[in-house]
Structure 1
Amino acid sequence: MSDVDASTPRVFLARHGETEWTKNGRYTGSTDLELTPHGVKQVKGTASQLVGSGKLIDPARIVRVWVSPRKRALQTFGLLFNGLNDSGGNSPTIPEDKITITEDIAEWDYGDYEGLLVEEIRSSRKERGLDQDIAWNIWRDGCEGGESAQQATERLDRLISDIRKIQESRMHGEKAADVVLTTHYL
């Protein structure tokens, strides 16, 4: 793309496609769900429009990729970056040594709330005498048996620090320094 500023390192966040639980609003943290057929179609559509040589996300410009270890994120990564070479083959377009699979960008650990709907969580908490004056909010109240907002922040801060280290010496167009995160909403 001729209008892309090649001198600016970028970070792309690629959220996984649809799963059975994202379709109906269930909290999906550690449960390892695959993409639905519609989710596969979503990711393939994104890849065809945005990923490839000369496109917004050009594998030649990518210096690092971080991927959540959940099936839905791994599947999304594969659909985005495999089989996109110019010859139409199925070989990955991102070298393996540039890919890091890490819990640091895994979905929030919802603990006891895994697989539940917001209404179910709020109802259960209210029945147990919690949140009588104000409704449960994940950012304020966290998840029983799971992760707090502070814990999620700490692991994401580690990732941000790593990205800064990679990109800091390339902020003036010295070399391409794009980063891709294949993950969840967090």
Structure 2
Amino acid sequence: MTALYLLRHGETEWSRTGRHTSRTDLPLTPTGERRAGDAGRLLGILRGGEPPALVASSPRARALRTAELAGLSVDMVTEDLAEWDYGEYEGLTTAQIRETVPGWTVWTHPCPGGESAAEVGARAARVVERVRAALSDGDVILVGHGHFSRVLVATWLGMPPESGVHFGMDAAAISVLGDERGAPQITRLNVAPVLE
């Protein structure tokens, strides 16, 4: 049985402090670098020794560096795996946004100058289509971001993008998606790479 493995990039200063980060290209913190390496070892335990059919990454440096530290050789870099574009809310925390937009969440409100949930969902649908085609040749590993990966999980399950609110995806965490007799399922969700 082949599976789709989602690896969120390691910690950055903004992810650590809850600042929305899409286009801003930040480096991993030392903790983020260490945990990215740990995530690579965890992937090896979860997957075994077979090489994956496809490793794809977001073009952001934090994702590419995570892939490198995890020992992955990236076959494809695509904007389709980039984080939700937060537009004018880039670099702000939810609490800061709520000072002017009470009750705001990325799942329920627009991001002025950024992407809508439907637009992020359309990207996720393209990724799922590519992944399903590649799975016939082996496992697929996608290295990306928190909100986008959560939308991808929802899309895999046939749910609307906003349903991503129900799934966690911490920095350097791994989720595994598969199928049971044709029904999409979550095999593992938000597995932390703490191997100490």
Interval containing the TM-score (normalised by the shorter chain): 0.7 to 0.9
> For 2:50, which of 57, 60, 70 is the aligned residue?
60
| Partner of residue 138, structure 2 | 177
Distance 1:166 1:33 in 2: 30
For residue 60 of structure 1, give the secondary structure of its aligned residue in structure 2.
Answer: coil
Structure having greater relative contact order (Cα 8 Å, sep ≥ 6): 1
- Give the 3 Å change call, closer, same or farther, for CA 141–27 of structure 1 in structure 2: same
Question: How far 1:165 sits from its partner (Å)?
Answer: 1.6
Matches within 5 A, 1:32-181: 32-51=25-44, 55-58=45-48, 60-81=50-71, 94=73, 99-125=75-101, 131=102, 135-167=103-135, 170=136, 177-181=138-142
Structure 1 portions without partners, runs of 5+: 1-7, 83-93, 126-130, 171-175
- Which whole-Å deviations, capped at 9, do the CAs of 1:104-139 have from their partners, x for residues lacking one? 0101100000000101111123xxxxx5xxx11211
RMSD between aligned residues: 1.6
Structure 2 portions without partners, runs of 5+: 149-196
Question: How far 1:159 sits from its partner (Å)?
Answer: 0.5
How many residue pairs are counted as aligned between the two chains? 147
TM-score (norm 1): 0.74
For residue 81 of structure 1, give the secondary structure of its aligned residue in structure 2.
Answer: coil
Between the aligned residues of both structures, percent identity stands at 40
Distance 1:28 1:68 in 2: 13
Amino acid at match of 2:109: D
Question: How far 1:81 sits from its partner (Å)?
Answer: 1.5
Distance 1:41 1:68 in 2: 20
Distance 1:47 1:142 in 2: 35
Question: How far 1:58 sits from its partner (Å)?
Answer: 4.3
